[in-house]
């Protein structure tokens, strides 16, 4: 399964999405613009998009109201270490109240990995960030048991989005 993500203005991406309602496409927006997300086992209809392989997925994403895309730039030579860590992750987030699912996206080109989480509401996500499960899932961060900082080619960053409620992933 592949995932394609493209970014732009909400109005432009709304037009790109038209006519593709049955194709597992989701339109996200925030104050900076929008993202169009497409899960498919074939090619995408996007003209310009970043392509990812679906490395791991948990949960049935039906109708999220809030999406978090955690972009994690990883050195090309360190991808195996990063992927091994995510394959053996604690798996806490997908069991949190309000979390519909998680997708770990492996870039086909030299783009950042994306850890996408899908939530009912922004409040559910914020509750996760202050939970004991979050602390457990991230307990090794910045320790000798965590990933070495040398595997990152840049600083990870989050993008959060509201979701147009007429869609489904």
Q: How many Å is the Cα radius of gyration of the chain?
A: 16
Which pLDDT value is given to residue 168?
Answer: 45
Q: 24: left (phi > 0), else alpha (psi -120 to 50), else beta?
A: left
Alpha-carbon span 158 to 56, nearest angstrom: 19
CB 7 within 8 A of CB 16: no
pTM of the model: 0.89
Alpha-carbon span 158 to 68, nearest angstrom: 7
Task: Say which DSSP state 150 is in.
Answer: G
CB 168 within 8 A of CB 62: yes
* Domains, the chain, with CATH or none: 2-163 (3.30.70.100)
CA distances from 144 to 77, 84, 139 (A): 20, 16, 11
- The contacts of residue 161 (CB under 8 Å, 6+ apart) are 28, 29, 30, 34, 35, 66, 67, 68, 69
From the first residue on, what is the mean pLDDT of each consecutive set of 10 residues in the chain (169 residues)? 95 93 89 94 91 93 93 94 81 88 93 96 94 74 69 93 67
3-class state of residue 97 by DSSP: coil
Which residues partner with 99 through β-bridges? 119
């Amino acid at each position: 399964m592949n995932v394609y993500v493209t970014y732009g203005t909400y109005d432009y991406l709304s037009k790109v999405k038209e006519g593709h309602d049955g194709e597992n496409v989701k339109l996200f927006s925030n104050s900076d613009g929008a993202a169009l997300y497409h899960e498919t086992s074939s090619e995408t209809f996007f003209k310009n998009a970043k392509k990812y392989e679906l490395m791991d997925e948990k949960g049935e994403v039906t109708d999220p109201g809030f999406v978090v895309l955690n972009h994690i730039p990883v050195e090309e030579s360190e991808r195996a270490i990063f992927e091994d860590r995510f394959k053996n992750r604690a798996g806490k987030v997908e069991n949190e109240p309000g979390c519909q699912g998680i997708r770990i996206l492996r870039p086909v080109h030299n783009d950042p990995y994306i850890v996408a989480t899908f939530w009912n509401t922004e409040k559910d996500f914020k509750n996760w960030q202050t939970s004991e499960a979050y602390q457990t899932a991230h307990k090794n961060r910045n320790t000798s048991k965590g990933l070495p900082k040398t595997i990152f080619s840049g600083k990870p960053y989050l993008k959060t989005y509201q979701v147009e409620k007429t869609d489904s992933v």
